[in-house]
Structure formats: C-alpha cells, structure tokens
Structure 1
Amino acid sequence: MASVEPTSSYVRYRVIFVCMLMAVLLYLDRFCISFAEVFIKDELGLSDEQIGILLGSFFVSYALCQVPSGWFSDRFGARKMLTIYILMWSLFTAMTGLATGFIMLLIFRLGFGLSQAGAYPTSANIVSKWMPLTERGFASSMVTVGGRIGGALAPVLTAFLIILYVPMTESSDLKSGDIMNPHGLATTFLERVDEKQEFETKIYGGLTSESRNYLNAEALAAKADAAAEAATRAKIAAKDAATIAANASGENKVLAETQAKNAANAAESAVTEATAAADAAVEAKSLVASFTKAESSFLENLNPILQEQQLYDPADFEGLTLNQQAEQLLNVSPGELNVEQRSRLNRLLFEARYSAHVRKVQGKGWRKMMMTYGLVGILIAGIFWWVIRDYPRAHPACSEQELALIEHGRLESDKDHSKQIGGIPFKAIVKNQSLWLLSLSQFCTNVGWLFLVTWLPRFLDEEYQVPLEERGKMVTIALAVGWFGTLSGGKVTDWLMKRISLRWSRVLPIALSRFTAMAAYLVCLLDISPWTSVIMFSIVAFSTDFGSPAMWAFNQDIAGKHVGSVLGWGNMWGNLGAAVAPSLMIAVITVNTASGEEHHWDMAFVTCAIAFFIAGVASLFVDSSRKLVVDDEDGMLETA
C-alpha cells in the first residue's frame, strides 16, 4: 500500500484519545453496580434472582437499541449524538443512587442500557472517518482498551469510593433492619455462647435479661420454622408412600403398605414436634415485653457493648477473612483506639462472624458513589463536545497533510460528507452471512466473558473468602490484563493486514483468542489457588480483548457509510448474550439444599468454556472481503 508524507497535525489522535476517555467512563458506570450489588441487595432486601434480572436488564435495552442508536449517529452526526448519550447515561447512573426498591432500579438500569447503546457504534463511526485504513486496528484497540481500563478500575475505584463515603467518624451502630436474619443470628450466637467462644461470651455477659429473652425467642422461632418445614416434608413423603401402596400388588403391596404406615407415623411425629416447637416459640416471645420493639431494644443494648469493650480474640476468628480496615485497626494498640475506631472495629468483627445475617456498615456508601460517577460524566460530555467533529474536514485544526493521510485509499463516495444516509440497511445486513456468523461469535463471547465483571467478585468471596479490598485488586488485575490483549490485538491485526489477506487478518485474531479463553476456563475446573484462578481469568480477559480490534475492523471494512448500524447489529447480538448470561449463570450454578442455596462454580466454568468454543468455530467462516450491498431502497443516500 502506498504511503503519504508525514502530517503537520495530529488531531486524529486527540479524537481517538477522547473516545478512549469516553470508553473508560462507559465501563466504570456500567460495572460499578456489579461490585456494589452485595450492598444494594442487603439494603433493599433483594433476592439473587432480582439481582440477576437487574444485571441482565441493562443488556436487554442496551442490545435492542444498538442498531437504532448507531443509525442516529450515522444520520445526525457522531459529535451531537454521543454527547447526548453520555449525558443520558450519567443521569441514570446518578439516579440509581436514589433508588428505593427493585422497580426503580429496574427502570434506571433499562434507561441506562438504552443510553449507553450508542457509545461503541458511534465510536466505530468516528474511527472509520478519522483514521487511515492501515491504522484502524490500532485506533479501534485504543477505544476498546479505554473500556477495559474502566472495567478494571471499576472494582477498586468503586470499593475506594464506597469506603471513602463511610468515614470512621460516621456512626458504626447497628440500626433497625441491619440484622437481616434474626432467626439465624440468634441461633448461631447462642450456640457459640454454649461453646464458650470468647467473642459471644463477652457480648452475652453485657446483655440485659430482655435482650437475652429476645435472642432465645428468635432461636426458638427458628426451631419452630425448621420443625414446620420438616413436618411438611414428612406429610408429602407419607402421601407419596400411600399413593405407591394403593397402586402396588402382591408382595410389593405388603411392603409398600408397611412403608406407608411408617411414613405416616413419622409425619404424625413431625407434626407433634412442630406444634411443640411453635408453642415454645410463642411462650418465649411472651417473655419479651412488646416483642415488635424487642429488636430495637436489643440493638440499643448491643451498640454500647460494641463501642466500649475489647472483643477480639484470635482463636474466634481463625479461618475467617477480616475486612482490611479491621486488619488495620487491629494493628493499633487497644488502649490507643478512640470510641469511633473501637466501635468500627467491633462492628466489622461482628459482620465477619455473622456475614450472612448482618448488613455491612461500609455498604452505606454505594449511593454517593453512584452520584459521583454521574457528575464525572457531565465533565466528560463537555470535553467530548469540545474536541470532536463529525469528520476531519470539519475540524479547524486538521491540516491538509493530515487530511490527505486520512483519506488515502478511500473510495470517493466515502470522502463525500455532503449527503446523509437514508434508513437503516436492514435488508443488506440480514443477507450478509459473515455478519450472522460474527454475531453468533459475539453472542457466545459475551456469555463467557461476562462472568468476569458480574460473578467473579462473588466467586472469590464464596469460594476463597477473599476480603473486600483484596477482592477488588484481584478483579482489577484480571481485567487490567485485558488492556494488553486489546493493544496487542490491534497491532497484530494491522500487522497481519500488511502481510496476509484481508479476510485472515480479521479471522485469525478472533478465532485463536476464543479457543485460548476456552482452555483457561477449563483449567479453573482443577483444584487451584485463588491467585492461580486469577491468572486463568486474566488469560480469559486478554484473549477476549485480543480479538476485539479485528471485530471492529471487520465491521468498518464492509459497512461503508453505515458503520454505526453495522457495528450496532453485531453489538446487539453480543449484548443479548450478555443479557442472558447472568440468569443463565444463576440457573447452572445454583443448587437448592436443605440448608439453603449453594453455588456450584464448576458449572459456570463449563458453560463459559462451551460458549467460547462456539464463538471460535463461528468466527472461522467470517469473510470481510464481502462488502455490505446496499440497494436504493435500503439505506439509500439522500441529499442533505
């Protein structure tokens, strides 16, 4: 390919940098909720299923609005539309911090997805107009790496802001509603008192008789609930046994009738036990004056104990993971701790002992964190409007030499910006086989990749009990490795284009990277350490991002003036995969047991590996040499 003289201006790099900055914000705002979801869940009383719906709802509106928002940018200009998109999603981010329940969160997440849908299609439009053909891979990788930087920063920056907005001077007292499972807390607490564990024994010694009665009543209520559930199961078993006996014959009938009789006796015994347990719970509650106010009285009794006493005993916390702030406070001599520090330390210790039953004190910072991200978005929108123009000839600082370099090798029709495009070229898009194959690859890629930004923090917490701050660092490291995948993938894509065919310069980076990600997930099935798993997740992030510049370049290669619509089409399918992924993961990893829900993470790794395998196979048959064919009735050009 012929070259042109060096340019006397480099406006195109400023344009790409601002697009990259926009992408940083895009992913910061998108994935901060994944790290804060444990606090949102606790405060608003949401279930895992509702969290899955919230995480997936964003991708539904995001996916369905990809093509329309990309077309808006093709038609009305990237500068205007992307500025509007940034302002809109920043508004929805800030409003998320004001949500009071599931429905409000769902509405805000749907609006957030709609607003962010145009970000990457519009950025691809800008890259196609501002960058020479030989620099498209690298420019696309810079925008994509901005997103990965945002995604990598989201866990650690979100954790930092959440903690920052709950300073030590803020009260660490337990308030009404902070005990999310009184039955479970009371049962475990009294069991540990009986076992003479130091932490609970010290607290119990400072409780009033009314507080002790409250704990006993809650524990008895828990036993009553468990007995009632056991009775229900026994009745069902007896009914099933009776049905089997009624349908049996001969020797089998005698055996079945015996089993049915035993089951009926067991059910009757279980009902008797349940009734006795319920009566005991009622009697215990009667010992607590005004039981509806008993929790408040208990907390009023408990909080001064947490403020004043030295409760830490290393033996009680062996095997438990402590919050980093708690570790820091434990390094201070007990005599040097002030009331606020002692209260925060004991609250964090209490949370560590009863992590499933007590709301996290640091979780109160998630609302201000959301509002902070929203305000930053307004600043980024202003910078974007100031730097960007829809095409190079509209920018006053772009020299003739730089214009010549940018336009070198383009079709004359691609240089002409005096006309506007017509409608969305749906007919041409659905007739292009390569677009369908790449869409399948993007769908499956997002199913596999989304685990890193949605469930990875939960996995590290449940499987390895990694503390909040270290958890944030681990997720950040895994995602940060993706930066290098994006940058190297862009360079390799441009390098391959100069040495092999256009088609294979796009296919090889996509296909090989998907098979590598598949292999990394399969390694996670082995018994490995937390940091070894982080290495595997880092390989997944690197491989996924390595193929992204080639995907962008493919869309720019075939789309002509319809880059926003075409890239939006592929992104739509990719993000439908992302919309499905959270609920799919819950379905494959969640197992209901007698003690509650358990998560089988191996099933998540198998699912992700299969998804990447399909993505790799589909991408092998993509051909970027077959251009989008737009006829006069489908996306025709109209005079502006």
Structure 2
Amino acid sequence: MSTHVRHHVLGATTLAAVMLYLDRICIAEIAKEEAFKSDLGISDTQIGVVLGAFFFTYALGQVPAGWLSDRFGTRTMLPIYIGIWSLCTILTGLANGFLMLMVARLLFGFAQAGCYPSAGSLIKRWMPIPQRGRASSVVSFGGRLGGTIAPILTAWLLKDYLSWRAVLILYGTAGFLVAFHFWRIYRETPTEHPLCDTGEQELISYGDDDAGDLSPPQFLPLLPLIRSHTMWLMSFLQFGINLGWVFLVTWLPTYLQEVKHVDPKTGGLMSTIVLASGIVGTLCGGMVTDISVRHFGRRWGRSLPMVTCYTVAMIAYLSCLRLESAWSFVIAASIVAFATDLSVPSIWAYMQDVGGKNTAAVFGWGNMWGNFGAATSPLLVPIVVDATVPDADWTPAFYLFSLGYLMAGLCALGINANSKVE
C-alpha cells in the first residue's frame, strides 16, 4: 500500500487558503467599528480607498508572484507570502493613521497575490491528473470557508472579547503558524519528500508529460502568455465571470434592501444562502471536471463544464428580470453562485494542464484578469443603474452581468487544455 503524503500537502494548502480569505475579509467587519475610525482619524471615503487598494495590488501582483514561486519554489515562496501578509495584518492592527494603513494594505495585496498561483502549481506537482480537479476544489473550498467564517468570527471577537487591534494581531500571529506548518510538511516534488514512497510517486506522475521536467524557469513567460490565444480566451473568460459574480458579494445586500424591500436581518440570511450555494458548487466542481475529462478527454473535458455553467448562470441572471418575489430572486442568485463556483476547479485544472514549469505564472496571469473584472464590476453597477434615474432601474445591470457570462461561455468553447504555454 502506497503512502498518502499528497493528502497532507493538500490539507496544509487548504489551511493557507482559509487564512487567505480570513485575513482578507475580516477588515470589512472591522471597518464598521466606530473605534476603528476614531482611533485612526479616518473618514468613510478614506476607508473605501483603503479597501479598494487591496484589489489593485492583488491583481498586479499575480504574475510576478506566480513566477517567483515557479523560479524559487513553492516551499520557499508560499511561506514568505503568508508571512508577509500576516505581518501586514498585524501592522494594520498597529496602524496610527491613514498613511500607515494604506501602505500595509497595498503590501498585503501583493503578498496575497502569490497564494493561489502557488497552490495551483503545487497541485500539479503533487496530484495525479485524474484527481487535480477535486484537489483544486478542496483548496478553493478552503478560501470560501475562510471568507464565510471571517465576518461571524470577527464580529463575535469584537463584541465580547477583543479590540479591533487585538483581533488583527491574533489573526496575523495565526498566519505565521500556518506558514511554518506548510513549510514543515511541503517539499517541491514527491521525490524530495522523505515520507513519500515510490508507489505514491508513480501514481502522481502517471500520464503527466511534464513530470520529468523539474528545472525552474529562468525568465518570466510574458511573451509566451501574450502569444497564447488560448490564454487570452481564459483571461477574457475570468474577466467575464467576475463581471457578473462580484455583484453577489458587493451590491446584493443593497439590491435586496432597496429594490426587494427586505429588512437587514433577512437580507443577511439571504446573502448567506447565496454564498453557501457557491461553496456547494466548489465542492462538486472538482468531481465534475475529473469525470468530464475521463469521458471527453482534456480538450473538451475542461471546456464543456465551463460552457454549461456559464450558460446556466446567464439564464439565471436573465430570469431575475421577471422575478417579483425576493425569495425567488435569491433562488436565481444562488443558481448563479452555484454554477460559477462549479466551474472554478475546471479553471484551476486547465491552467495546471497548460502551464508546464510556469504553472504558477500562468495561473497568476488568468487570475490577474479575473481580478480586473472584479474591480470593474462594482464601479459599473452604479453607473448603469443611475443612468436610468429617476427610475433607478436595475435592468441594465442584470444585462451587464449576463453579458459577462455570455462572453465567458463563448471563450470557454475556444480554450484548449492540450495547448501548452511554451
């Protein structure tokens, strides 16, 4: 019987994903505190600038952070990334004003940019091809779990136990422990791990054309990425889905309150149901893409689940234009969340398929464009809604979200997991 070291590696990576989102999302809950504003002497406008600054550096940091993991190894770089963003979390808790807070959050975004590209690369090295989709779904689930528990845990600690500064110091300290835990468990390849036997090594490498090429890339693969038409399709795909999906984590509570006239408590429950549907989709998506590859091969096995998911999400958004009941709208939004997250493991596995020795950089390239979409959507929503004043009609917004998924579905038809980024 062979060893199962790969499962321990996957567990440590999932724990890092939990901390990734716990540290990222907690600041939104903390920023609501009057003590936070008064202690730092900042306005609501300045808080908005600080919260938005993260997405800017997070998007720009994706490709260079991914390349650094490819070049110097995930065992070196991922603990460094976790350590830096944990330090920034602590520095946020020690901030004495707007400038220090801004610097901490900008650096925080750069450091967090390296986590998922590194995770995508290590899954390629440590999981056999038929299990990469499920492994990707587990790590992605860790991020969703961290984002789900962050508001609840942070609010609980703030209410009865700790100040906002102490909460951030606690989270940052926990991050250092997670970084050490990952470094202790992980090795760059199964052959380097003292506890991974030959049976597990052969299982992991079976059918992988890149398994024997372990030399690190010398240069950032910008030209190959720019020349790759299939990666441009993946970039537009990720931009499109985030153009539509980000509504669910930004403007959804406002829409429920102002359009559906839902009270805040019920609205919070509805938002939780929508996001929980995404978590279920993430867990199912890995199994779906792995089964699809076994039946249709890598070319269509990666593509077809995405096309199906984005078609369903587009139809669900269009149906929102005819739904009067708040709960029927929540069902449609939950379908969007489920379908979107169902496709995420296919995206991860695709980038592992085409990335070769540059998997982390390739992952970062796609993730960068996805985050540009995430940053664009919240800005466009008030523009298209306000354009209908005095009616403030949300119809153009839902057409915008549907258009994003239409673009993603068309791009998914053209991607080819057999076309490597050389």
Tell me how far 1:424 sits from its aligned partner.
1.2
Instruction: Say if 1:534 and 1:51 are closer, same or farther in 2 by CA, change over 3 A.
Output: farther
1:493 is aligned to 289
* SS of 2:153 mapped into structure 1: helix
* SS of 2:321 mapped into structure 1: coil
Assess if the C-alpha contact under 8 Å between 1:90 and 1:378 holds in 2: yes
Tell me how far 1:409 sits from its aligned partner.
1.8
* SS of 1:525 mapped into structure 2: helix
* SS of 2:420 mapped into structure 1: coil
Quick check: 1:610 aligned with 2:403? yes
Quick check: 1:379 aligned with 2:177? yes
1:139 is aligned to 135
Match for residue 579 of structure 1 among 375, 378, 383? 375
1:46 is aligned to 43
2:252 is aligned to 456
1:458 & 1:370 partners in 2: Cα distance?
27
Tell me how far 1:591 sits from its aligned partner.
7.5
2:51 & 2:96 partners in 1: Cα distance?
17
Assess if the C-alpha contact under 8 Å between 2:59 and 2:368 holds in 1: yes
Tell me how far 1:505 sits from its aligned partner.
0.7
1:90 is aligned to 86
Instruction: Say if 1:24 and 1:621 are closer, same or farther in 2 by CA, change over 3 A.
Output: same
Assess if the C-alpha contact under 8 Å between 1:156 and 1:472 holds in 2: no
Instruction: Say if 1:446 and 1:477 are closer, same or farther in 2 by CA, change over 3 A.
Output: same
Tell me how far 1:103 sits from its aligned partner.
4.2
Match for residue 17 of structure 2 among 18, 23, 47? 23
Amino acid at match of 1:28: L
Instruction: Say if 1:494 and 1:535 are closer, same or farther in 2 by CA, change over 3 A.
Output: same
2:61 is aligned to 65
2:415 is aligned to 622
2:92 & 2:315 partners in 1: Cα distance?
37
2:147 & 2:242 partners in 1: Cα distance?
14
Match for residue 434 of structure 1 among 220, 230, 235? 230
Tell me how far 1:15 sits from its aligned partner.
0.7
Tell me how far 1:572 sits from its aligned partner.
1.1
1:509 & 1:65 partners in 2: Cα distance?
29
User: Aligned residue pairs: how many?
Assistant: 418
Residues 147-186 of structure 1: pairs in structure 2 closer than 5 A: 147-165=143-161
> Could you tell which deviates more after superposition, 399-408 or 606-615?
606-615
Quick check: 1:390 aligned with 2:188? yes
1:403 & 1:584 partners in 2: Cα distance?
49
1:423 is aligned to 219
Between structures 1 and 2, the one with greater helix share: 2
Quick check: 1:9 aligned with 2:3? yes
1:578 & 1:61 partners in 2: Cα distance?
13
Tell me how far 1:387 sits from its aligned partner.
1.5
1:401 & 1:581 partners in 2: Cα distance?
48
1:249 is aligned to none
Match for residue 414 of structure 1 among 197, 202, 211? 211
* SS of 2:53 mapped into structure 1: helix
* SS of 1:500 mapped into structure 2: helix
Amino acid at match of 1:532: S
1:101 & 1:126 partners in 2: Cα distance?
39
TM-score by length of 2: 0.90
Instruction: Say if 1:589 and 1:110 are closer, same or farther in 2 by CA, change over 3 A.
Output: farther
1:420 & 1:520 partners in 2: Cα distance?
44
Instruction: Say if 1:77 and 1:145 are closer, same or farther in 2 by CA, change over 3 A.
Output: same
Instruction: Say if 1:95 and 1:531 are closer, same or farther in 2 by CA, change over 3 A.
Output: farther
RMSD over aligned Cα atoms: 2.7
For residues 501-554 of structure 1, give each alpha carbon's deviation from its aligned partner in whole angstroms, at most 9, with x where no partner exists: 321111111122122222223333345444433333322221111111111111
Instruction: Say if 1:457 and 1:87 are closer, same or farther in 2 by CA, change over 3 A.
Output: farther
* SS of 1:434 mapped into structure 2: helix
For residues 193-244 of structure 1, give each alpha carbon's deviation from its aligned partner in whole angstroms, at most 9, with x where no partner exists: xxxxxxxxxxxxxxxxxxxxxxxxxxxxxxxxxxxxxxxxxxxxxxxxxxxx
Instruction: Say if 1:586 and 1:546 are closer, same or farther in 2 by CA, change over 3 A.
Output: same
2:400 & 2:166 partners in 1: Cα distance?
36
1:170 is aligned to none
TM-score by length of 1: 0.61
Quick check: 1:538 aligned with 2:334? yes
For residues 95-129 of structure 1, give each alpha carbon's deviation from its aligned partner in whole angstroms, at most 9, with x where no partner exists: 33344555444333221110101101100111010
Tell me how far 1:593 sits from its aligned partner.
8.7
Amino acid at match of 1:615: A
Amino acid at match of 1:427: L
Assess if the C-alpha contact under 8 Å between 1:155 and 1:473 holds in 2: no
Instruction: Say if 1:24 and 1:534 are closer, same or farther in 2 by CA, change over 3 A.
Output: farther
2:340 & 2:303 partners in 1: Cα distance?
14
Assess if the C-alpha contact under 8 Å between 2:92 and 2:104 holds in 1: yes
* SS of 1:515 mapped into structure 2: helix
Structure 2 spans left out of the alignment, 5+ residues: none
For residues 355-399 of structure 1, give each alpha carbon's deviation from its aligned partner in whole angstroms, at most 9, with x where no partner exists: xxxxxxxxxx54444333223212221221221111111111111
Quick check: 1:106 aligned with 2:102? yes
1:525 & 1:101 partners in 2: Cα distance?
44
Residues 586-601 of structure 1: pairs in structure 2 closer than 5 A: 586-589=382-385, 601=394
Amino acid at match of 2:315: A
Task: Extract structure 1 runs of 4+ deviating beyond 6 A.
Answer: 591-594
Instruction: Say if 1:423 and 1:405 are closer, same or farther in 2 by CA, change over 3 A.
Output: same
Instruction: Say if 1:25 and 1:414 are closer, same or farther in 2 by CA, change over 3 A.
Output: same
1:584 & 1:39 partners in 2: Cα distance?
28
Counting aligned pairs with the same residue, the percent is 45
